[in-house]
A and B are shown apart, each in its own frame.
Chain A
Amino acid sequence: MRILLIEDDGLIGDGIKNGLEKPGFAVDWFSDGNEGHEALFQAEYDAVILDLGLPGRDGLSILKDWRNRGRSEPVLILTARGDVDERVAGLNSGADDYLGKPFSLKEVQARLNALIRRKNGVSAPEIVYRNVTFNPQSRKTFLNGREVALSPKETALLEALLFNRNKVLSKEILENKLYSWDDEVSSNAVEVHVHHLRKKLGKDIVKTVNKLGYITED
């Protein structure tokens, strides 16, 4: 899942980026309001983490502009102020969820997962596909009830495929979801991950659609 993070505090931004990338999120981090605002239009993000107390351009105005321009990415707002009025103002401006400082990474991750699940029309905490069960929060994958060790990128690939069932996902889309701007991507990275996924979960887990991409079919 690709996340856009806009946070001006160096240590918090760095911590969230590292903390989310570890389990396989791809995070683009911007500390300037204007740059972060533009970034949403440069890649397809699954969710946005937006700090309200941003210098340059304040978080609420960024959010309002996105919504006015028809962007519907789920937005999780971070703020140091915890008063009700501000929370209401944030939610009214189009925020999907709200998190007051100090928060823990686990909570950020849980809320992001909930937002992404909701966006993809999934309400159960676990995704079941044939004999594979995937838990987005714990990042664990089970084959016939037994846990299978997947790398973070393989997990992210499986997550992307399972959330977009019956849709053909091009190599570019998958790369976009798996890697942030900071990552160096080798040309066959997606093929390698698909290969590993098939080896671990069975050949049928993902089908190759010639010249178009990959699909997970019911």
Chain B
Amino acid sequence: MKKLNLRLRLTVFFIVISVAVFATAGILSWTECREKVDEFFDTYQIALARRLSTANWEQIAPGMQEISDGLVKDIRNADDEDDAVGFAVFNSEGRRIFHDGENGRDFHPFGRTGSFGTEDVDEEDWRVIRMMTTDGKYIVAVGQELDYRREVTEDMFEEFMAPWGIGLIVLLTAIIVMLTLEFTPLKRLAADLKKRPAEDLSPLDEANIPDEVRPLTDAVNGLFKRIERMLQRERSFIADSAHELRSPLTALKVQLEVARMNEDDPKKLDDTLRKLERGIDRAAHLVEQLLALSRIDSSFEREHAPLDWREIVAQVTDEYARSAREKEAVIREDISGPPPFSEGNPVWAALMLRNLVDNALKYSPAGSEISISVKDGKLAVCNSNTAVPEERLKHLCERFYRPSGQKTDGSGLGLAIVSEIAAVHGCCTDCANTPNGFCVTVYRKKNLS
């Protein structure tokens, strides 16, 4: 299910809460108003009934009702106000002896005395109280139309609630405006990101960004920086690669021209073609190494499998058995202890060892002894009869480093690949001249504990 956006959710939330609070307050106010109005009018009715009950109804003259009716009519004409209260006085037989001239005319003669009751008067609901006069001879009934009471309650309620209603509208408008304003920088940020070209890795503008969102923009900016560093690395890698490919290509071009010149000299032509082949192998090897290096660089997900070093060593020595024979070299293995890393990518582990053995074979004189040892948490490949000048040792693992006086074709990437594969597996690479000859050792980084 798609989630509503935060601004809309907050808006809906605030509207629902405010309206609920407002409605609750309204219901409570309505109840309260009604009770107060009832109480007020009840008191008024009781007071009126009490006053009427103390009057002397014995001496009421037959013409009094007409006089009263006339007075009421005059008052009604002068003032439209009608509190819809009526009264009537009955004698013990139920005969109406006096009334207010209007509503009281229709009051029922009998009913419960001493308490309020709702009665039907001329098809309207009335609240009526009856009271015995003080002399006990007459019944006074005072009633009020319930509709009127409701109207009064409604009026009161409306007047009471109107400012709150306006307040509610102002509040909601303010909330919506505030939310919109608060979310504008975020919206702008999103729009900026959306239309940003892929090559633009400048940091996000953090102006007006709320503190709560800053961790996110900081994280994005951090990511940008990392991507930029990676892009720079990639670019310089491509530049380096192109640069390194120029020499092998020149060699191919030059040798091809020499071959053309020697078309009439089969022996020289053959010799040149062999050199061309060597050049192509060299270029192919370089491309292969570059590819391997770029894969180590770019691969984030690392395949982790338990490594069988015995098998990896056996496989690599097998591959180089022929070249070793040609160089009259002996390859010795010693796998008697824990390796530098026991889990990792088997293909890379083999590639690392292959580069080490390849180097050892390439750069040692004929008849050397090459030893591969896996023990004490180290992998070491040594070639006897070889020593590298001390000042070059620290550069050996740099990319494209080829020391002077090299007669062997090499990409200058072998040890760089070794050290990068080692680094990916949390290991260091060390080059040193030892009593056993020149050794490259891969070992686990010491924990700083």
Contact = CB atoms under 8 A, between A and B. Distances in A.
With most chain B CB atoms within 10 A of its CB, the pick from A11, A55, A80 is: A11
Contacts of B386: none
Contact of B407 (A10, A18, A22, A104): A10
Interface string A1-39: 000000011111011101100100000000111000000
Interface string A76-96: 000011000000000000000
A191 to B, nearest CB: 27
B251 A12 contact: yes
B255 A15 contact: yes
Contacts of A130: none
Contacts of A22: 258, 261-262
A128 B275 CA distance: 39
Contacts of B275: 11, 14-15
B404 A80 contact: no
B409 A10 contact: yes
B254 A56 contact: no
With most chain B CB atoms within 10 A of its CB, the pick from A12, A32, A81 is: A12
A15 B405 contact: no
Given A15-B275, A55-B403, A81 B254 contact: no
B278 A11 contact: yes
A20 B257 CA distance: 11
B402 A101 contact: no
A54 B405 CA distance: 9
B134 interface: no
Contact of A19 (B261, B406, B409): B261
Interface in B210-253: 243-244, 246-253
B250 A102 contact: yes
Contacts of A31: 405, 407
B287 to A, nearest CB: 15
Majority SS at the chain B contact face: helix
Given A18-B258, A19-B254, A102 B246 contact: yes
A106 interface: yes
B249 A102 contact: yes
Contact of B258 (A10, A15, A33): A15
Contacts of A54: 404
B414 interface: no
Given A32-B405, A33-B404, A80-B243, A15 B257 contact: yes
A12 B243 contact: no
A102 B256 CA distance: 13
A12 B407 contact: no
A82 to B, nearest CB: 8
A181 interface: no
B249 A101 contact: yes
A11 B255 contact: yes
A74 B55 CA distance: 146
With most chain B CB atoms within 10 A of its CB, the pick from A10, A16, A31, A104 is: A10
A28 B243 CA distance: 27
A31 B403 CA distance: 12
A18 B185 CA distance: 71
A15 B243 CA distance: 20
A129 interface: no
Contact of A101 (B246, B261, B278, B407): B246
A8 B250 contact: no
B405 A9 contact: no
Interface string A41-81: 00000000000001110000000000000000000000011
A19 B250 contact: no
Contacts of B253: 102-105
Nearest to B249: A102
B194 to A, nearest CB: 38
B247 A80 contact: yes
A8 B406 contact: yes
Interface in B385-428: 402-407, 409
27 contacts: A8-B405, A10-B407, A10-B409, A11-B248, A11-B252, A11-B254, A11-B255, A11-B278, A11-B409, A14-B255, A15-B255, A15-B257, A15-B258, A18-B258, A19-B254, A22-B262, A31-B407, A32-B404, A32-B405, A54-B404, A80-B244, A80-B246, A101-B247, A103-B254, A105-B253, A105-B254, A105-B257
Q: Which 6 A-B pairs have the closest CB atoms?
A: A55-B404, A15-B254, A11-B251, A56-B404, A102-B250, A101-B246
Given A15-B254, A16-B254, A106-B257, 12 more contacts: A9-B247, A11-B275, A15-B255, A15-B275, A19-B261, A22-B262, A55-B404, A80-B250, A100-B246, A102-B246, A102-B250, A104-B253
Interface of A: 8-12, 14-16, 18-19, 22, 31-33, 54-56, 80-81, 100-106
Interface of B: 243-244, 246-255, 257-258, 261-262, 268, 272, 275, 278-279, 282, 402-407, 409
